[in-house]
Structure 1
Amino acid sequence: MNPLSLPYPSSFSSIPLIKSRNFHLRTSKICLSCTSPGAKLIESDKTIEYKPGPLDDVFLNMFRNKMVKEVGWDSEKPGYDGLIEVANRLMMKGKNNSDTRDAAVRILRSFFPPFLLELYQLLITPLGGGKVAAAMVARVTALTCQWLMGTCKINSVDLPDGTSCESGVFVERCKYLEESKCVGICINTCKLPTQTFFKDYMGVPLLMEPNFSDYSCQFKFGIPPPLPEDDEALREPCLEICPNATRRRGVAKEVEIVQCPKA
């Protein structure tokens, strides 16, 4: 759920463009890299670690409260660990995967007044053949969701009409996937419901391409997702570190890698 997002400003112009070490803008080719106030990026040997700031805690608590309300249960664990337990409970609550996805979409919708989503589709989505809306949601996703996903950056994607647009968000190592250790949670509480939300309620097609080998994820706003039978992510086997997969392999020793039952 990325895939789950937080409230968007009513106008992209309301986003402050402030130069700092955590934010930069190139006017010749728009490149936006954002963190919330107080957040820090820490250089390491191979990757950049995202350290949450004060506003990230606010975002996390808002999102967790929405999820708890939908699930009707909360974890005793604080912070991100508790959020992951609630996400697991969301997976168990539904009778099937469709129920889980519908619940995740409701969580996303609950962040927005209905009229705001309708106005966005009416006034913003048609601009520039949809490119303006796609670029806007990409930037706000990068601005507001690093607390959930980890370090991310805006990049360019090739659109179906043959043009390109900086409406992509590349997540270097998705914390939500890494902490949940579950293909099913990624697919059913993040990828599919997030794609549905943006297309159905904001009028912006979205393709999310999680990489289950290195935990990166590519958001492609403005690009429709493939049909389920053609989506490679839905055919991914369980992660070897998935607790559920480990238990099943212990029972069925002849099966080394199995399709995730929740994907």
Structure 2
Amino acid sequence: MGTTNIHLLSPARVCSYPARSHRKPPHLLPKHGRSILSLLVPPTSVTTKDISDHSLKLDTRNNDIATSSRTVYHDNWLESIAIDYLSKTIQETAGMKNDDTPGYKGIVAVSAAVFRELSPTEQRAFVLKVLEKALPSFTLFMASFPFFFMRLMPKSTFTREFFAIFTTVAFRWLVGPSEVRELEFEGKKERNVVHITKCRFLEEANCVGMCTNLCKMPTQEFMKKNFGIPVNMVPNFDDMSCEIIYGQDPPAEEDDPAFKEPCYKLCSLKKRHSASCIS
């Protein structure tokens, strides 16, 4: 198998990263039945392939990861366009060129190079810059009435539930299949939680640090900055699932359970970071 060649052309420009607020997460209610959305929208075509090396076993745990299969995605032409666009945006922002790894693996390969070269704070600032390039302000604010309305009422039930539905429909190619679930929020039930069955990025990267610094933290900041809505992303590193809770403030980094996890045993970037996977 050949080695991926990623050429660094110029250093990425970064900015400072603000602190986080803390709120105790409320209790998630069990989901009963399938959502209407899951019946109307066909899921991303995926299959699973058995693996026997149990490469996703954690350092400080004796048990293997809950699954022994690896997901194989069959992206359609529209999903392939989105993947290629994001990959090129990441490369342009980083000043890197990836000639050897196309498709989703190319996104992860360049992300891994960014992870190796930049500090955690710089990584998060880098992703914010990528998101701003991929989704310019005009698109974010004025592309459609729902998005404009949500900026006027970021704390409404409509906004939280709309984002949950939109995430499951629009980002299957990026994070994998997901569904909307119910949460008891401020004394009433809302469908403002996205449950990702098995995160595509985490499975492909096989690195806790890449999840927290290149996905979780910058996404939370991006949503708060551009839409005024708090988002708490709660990854489960045992089964690689994730809960995206719209309307819930994320905990402070020092209190966030995601930053207390060791990385996977066969993480290819393990020498880059410590057991906490953030340094």
Q: Which one has more relative contact order, counting CA pairs under 8 Å at least 6 apart?
A: 2
Relative distance call for 1:44 and 1:36 in structure 2 (3 A) is farther
TM-score by length of 1: 0.75
Partner of residue 157 from structure 1, selected from 172, 183, 189: 183
Structure 2: how far apart are the matches of 1:49 and 1:31? 26
Residue type matched to 2:156 in 1? G
Partner of residue 163 from structure 2, selected from 124, 127, 137: 137
Q: Superposition pairs for residues 1-263 of structure 1, below 5 Å?
A: 31-33=36-38, 39-40=44-45, 51-75=74-98, 76-94=100-118, 96-118=119-141, 123-127=149-153, 129-159=155-185, 161-245=186-270, 258-262=275-279
Offset at 1:111? 2.7
Name which of structure 1's ranges 46-55 and 136-145 shifts more when overlaid on structure 2.
Answer: 46-55
Unaligned runs of 5+ in 2: 1-33, 51-66
- Deviation track 1:105-158 (CA, whole Å, cap 9, x = no partner) reads 111122333244445776324448422112112111111111111111111123
2:182/2:193 contact within 8 Å kept:
yes
Q: How many residues were matched structurally?
A: 225
2:198/2:241 contact within 8 Å kept:
yes
Structure 1: how far apart are the matches of 2:254 and 2:44? 40
Structure 2: how far apart are the matches of 1:36 and 1:121? 21
2:140/2:147 contact within 8 Å kept:
yes
Relative distance call for 1:70 and 1:44 in structure 2 (3 A) is closer
Relative distance call for 1:243 and 1:93 in structure 2 (3 A) is closer
Indicate the residue corresponding to 1:17 in structure 2. Answer: none
Instruction: Give the RMSD, CA atoms, in angstroms.
Output: 3.1
Unaligned runs of 5+ in 1: 1-28, 250-256
1:49/1:151 contact within 8 Å kept:
no
Residue type matched to 1:83 in 2? I
